[in-house]
Amino acid sequence: MELLSPAGDLHKLKYAVLYGADAVYTAGTQFGLRAKSGNLTREELKQAVEFCHNKKKKIYITVNIFAHNKDIDKLPDYLQFLQLIGVDAFIISDPGVFSLAREFAPEIPIHISTQANVTSWKSAEFWFQQGAKRIILARELSISEIKKIRKKIPDIELEIFVHGAMCISYSGRCLLSSFLNNRSANQGYCTQPCRWEYGLAEKTRPNEFFNLEEDDYGSYILNSKDLCLLDKLSEIIDTGLDSIKIEGRMKSHYYVANVTRTYKSAIKLISENEKVPNNLKEELNKVSHRHYTEGFFDSFDSATTQFYESSTYIRDYQFIGEIVNTNKKSIFIAIRAKFNVGDEIEIIFPDMNSDLSLEISNLYNEEGEPISFTKPNTIVRIDIDKEIPPYGIVRKNIRK
């Protein structure tokens, strides 16, 4: 079963692959549903394809907007470019874009986006008959519904989301952002109004707000928890799905790396008939996240999928830097956030067995001068008495 990870930019793409993804999904600067993500220029897309293929990994490109007339004339050239550089699949929602892809890039397989709302075996059959290779099923399906689709249409690949943000609207097809902010979620510009706090106002008293929930927090009536199906992986594998997907192209490369390696490790343990330990599950609490839910997997219950008190993230750990160079006695860290001499930090690696914790006893700036704390956007040196593997990411427990 393929593990598919998000890649909001080229840097995140590389870390997703290095930390265990079998494939990544990303976008160019147009026609994807994460317009505010870093995304990749045409030159970066070429580099990304080369990097993934050199690592024997796959790369899928989202072309999953719901196209308007203004988009149609621009799409053929872009699709032909993606075919030329050898991407492994398109992710498409719109039948018009699907038709253009079949015409102008016929060599590239098409995966039907979750935005297309495939919720039945008959819909899956329709797309299969049109020539789609894979269906990314709607998040609103239970495992029993997924099993039926697998049984009815055995020759099409099936993919589901297993981790990340959920949307209040059906598979993300939302008009609320357009209505309130004139920025269309279906064109990639969602402003996430489902995460805002709402109140009730009487027409003649516009500045007097009444809480919809009588508590001290406010009313986040549309706010969904984050999906986490780590505990359901055995059942997912037994269903015969072809790919599981992590949401998060807007998240940091620390988030992408740690969630990827956690699911990768869990898949390996299950394949060896071993139990997934609690310390592995705990890694998912060490990235920025909302309260977790298993969504629609068994059955839908709004009490377990929505969180009405706040839309803020839970951040027990802070991503504070990445190792950019090492030698036999020192590590060099590109700093993202402040830490001090005397602090305890953790360094994670693609192989979890290499993770380590250490108390900072020395810090040096780029000129080799001793310092007592770090500053963002600098590089610091820490002397250490052991060799460190490459691609380490540094974090700190901020709840201690």
Chain centroid, CA 105 distance in Å: 27
Please, what is the average pLDDT of the chain?
Answer: 88
Give start and end residues of each alpha helix (H) in 19-109. 42-54, 69-72, 75-85, 95-104
Whole-Å CA distances, 193 to 60, 83, 351:
28, 36, 38
For the chain, which domains are there? 2-171+225-299 (3.20.20.70), 317-397 (2.40.30.10)
Distance CA 379, CA 395 (A): 15
Maximum Cα interatomic distance, the chain, rounded to a whole number of Å: 72
pLDDT at residue 199, as a whole number: 66
Mean pLDDT across 136-161: 95
Please report which confidence band the pLDDT of residue 127 belongs to, taking 50, 70 and 90 as the band edges: very high
217 against 36, higher pLDDT: 36
pLDDT at residue 188, as a whole number: 60
Structure tokens at 21: 């993804």
pLDDT tens column, 161-192: 999 987 766 566 566 666 556 666 555 666 66
Beta bridge partners of 28: 40
Count of all residues that appear for the chain in the document: 400
Q: How many CB atoms lie within 10 A of CB 354?
A: 13
Whole-Å CA distances, 42 to 74, 108, 179:
14, 17, 32
Q: How many CB atoms lie within 10 A of CB 306?
A: 17
> What DSSP character marks residue 364?
B
The answer on pLDDT for 214 being more than 50 is no
pLDDT tens column, 269-310: 999 999 999 999 999 999 988 888 888 898 766 556 655 556
